[in-house]
């Protein structure tokens, strides 16, 4: 069975074609800067690579280009669109209505639209991509895989804010969490690597990238996570502030900042970029810090310190921790950052082996020392494969039912 996975952003369309259940990648591609004259389109298959620079006016034009790429007689992956059995779609926000991946129909599209206000930058293009794929592929199954779904198991004591109840009832203000497909994927992989059932592991999963979040996973279920109503809460990130005193917003408002400038400040000008004044990229900051840039060093220290605090908090919540898992671009490849985060935690039973830490750069494996009571793992995430697995499970193994995640 061939399953095509889409991840549609405000100006990009990423896609990957899988042969299931073998989980073989047949093709992957991306359209960047959709809506601009200097857009680009790429496709990689075992036959070769296609790269073009061209104007891509909008999503219908973009999906027409994707069709042509996949059907390219020399480097494409299909001879006919009818070879695609199902499509899976990443949807960032499912509100509190969707606790798992769901077959797409008109009613589900309305449900995605109903939570536009909770993810105004993400859900509209997610829905547009779904609509274009349904038009292109006709009656084949289409599945929506929600980034918030894995965190729907979080209990009320963790997802409720200390605000008047009507704000929760009337405006759905609560912790939702994000990166759910990633946290779920690495949690399941960790269970396999540890030789445990997926519902018998307690984990702290650290998805670290330009956007970063941590989840506490008890018996295979998410019970807390650092991101909240929006992806702004929690860890220091590339350009997002993460946790801060809400009073800062009122103070700055009185100083003349309006809501738009505050939004830009906290989401696009803060985090590593704001502290360092130079970059939101950990790799750049490590080079600058090594060269004596004190602000770059401070940014890295604050980033690591916030992660350490969350790990400590979630150790208390879980009581028993089988493993701490690092994933995401920084989590998988950041040898120095992993060491920085877990330094001086030997009294909590966490000790990294420096050699194993280097060996498992971008590669799955355990990096704790022999004397460490808690395992530390590096597991590369694969959100597209997680979506393909869910789509395959619902399409082939359990039709008309939710998969057992």
Which ranges of 11-117 would DSSP assign to H, the alpha helix? Answer: 59-70, 106-114
Catalytic residue among 147, 224, 293, 390: 147
Six-digit token string for 370: 């022999």
How many distinct helices (H) and strands (E) make up the chain?
A: 15, 14
Six-digit token string for 54: 């061209």
Residue environment code for 74-83, b if the CB has 16+ CB neighbours within 10 A, otherwise e: ebbbbeeeee
**Element containing residue 311 per DSSP (H, E):** helix 294-318
Q: Is residue 302 a contact partner of residue 294, using CB atoms and an 8 Å limit?
A: no
- CA–CA distance, 85 with 83 (Å, rounded to integer): 6
Q: Is residue 207 a contact partner of residue 159, using CB atoms and an 8 Å limit?
A: no
End-to-end CA distance of the chain: 20
Active site residue 147: yes
- CA–CA distance, 246 with 243 (Å, rounded to integer): 9
Which positions are catalytic? Answer: 147
């Amino acid at each position: 069975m061939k399953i095509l996975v889409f991840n549609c952003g405000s100006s990009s369309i990423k896609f990957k074609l899988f042969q299931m259940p073998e989980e073989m990648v047949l093709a992957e591609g991306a359209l960047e800067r959709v809506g601009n004259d200097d857009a680009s389109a790429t496709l990689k298959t075992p036959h070769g690579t296609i790269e073009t620079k061209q104007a891509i006016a909008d999503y219908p034009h973009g999906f027409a280009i994707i069709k042509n790429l996949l059907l390219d007689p020399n480097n494409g992956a299909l001879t006919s669109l009818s070879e695609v059995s199902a499509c899976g779609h990443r949807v960032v926000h499912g509100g509190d209505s969707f606790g798992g991946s769901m077959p797409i129909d008109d009613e589900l599209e309305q449900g995605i639209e109903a939570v536009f206000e909770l993810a105004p930058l993400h859900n509209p293009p997610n829905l547009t991509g779904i609509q274009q794929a349904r038009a292109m592929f006709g009656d084949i199954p289409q599945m929506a895989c929600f980034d918030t779904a894995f965190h729907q198991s979080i209990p009320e004591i963790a997802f409720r804010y200390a605000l008047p109840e009507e704000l929760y009832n009337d405006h759905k203000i609560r912790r939702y969490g994000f990166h759910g497909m990633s946290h779920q994927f690495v949690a399941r992989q960790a269970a396999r690597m540890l030789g445990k059932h997926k519902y018998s592991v307690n984990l702290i999963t650290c998805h670290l990238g330009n956007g970063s979040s941590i989840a506490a996973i008890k018996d295979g279920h998410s019970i807390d996570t650092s991101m909240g109503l929006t992806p702004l809460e929690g860890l220091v990130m590339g350009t997002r502030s993460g946790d801060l005193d809400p009073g800062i917003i009122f103070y700055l408002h009185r100083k003349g900042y309006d809501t738009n400038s505050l939004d830009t400040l906290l989401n696009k000008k803060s985090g590593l970029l704001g502290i360092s004044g130079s970059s939101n990229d950990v790799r750049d900051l490590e080079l600058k810090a090594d060269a004596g840039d004190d602000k770059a060093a401070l940014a890295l220290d604050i980033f690591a310190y916030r992660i350490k605090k969350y790990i400590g908090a979630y150790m208390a919540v879980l009581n028993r921790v089988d493993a701490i898992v690092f994933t995401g671009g920084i989590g998988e490849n950041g040898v120095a950052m992993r060491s920085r985060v877990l330094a001086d935690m030997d009294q909590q039973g966490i000790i990294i082996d420096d050699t194993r830490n280097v060996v498992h750069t971008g590669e799955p494996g355990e990096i704790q020392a022999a004397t460490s009571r808690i395992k530390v793992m590096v597991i590369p995430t694969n959100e597209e494969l997680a979506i393909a697995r869910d789509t395959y499970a619902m399409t082939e193994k359990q039709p008309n039912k939710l998969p057992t995640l």
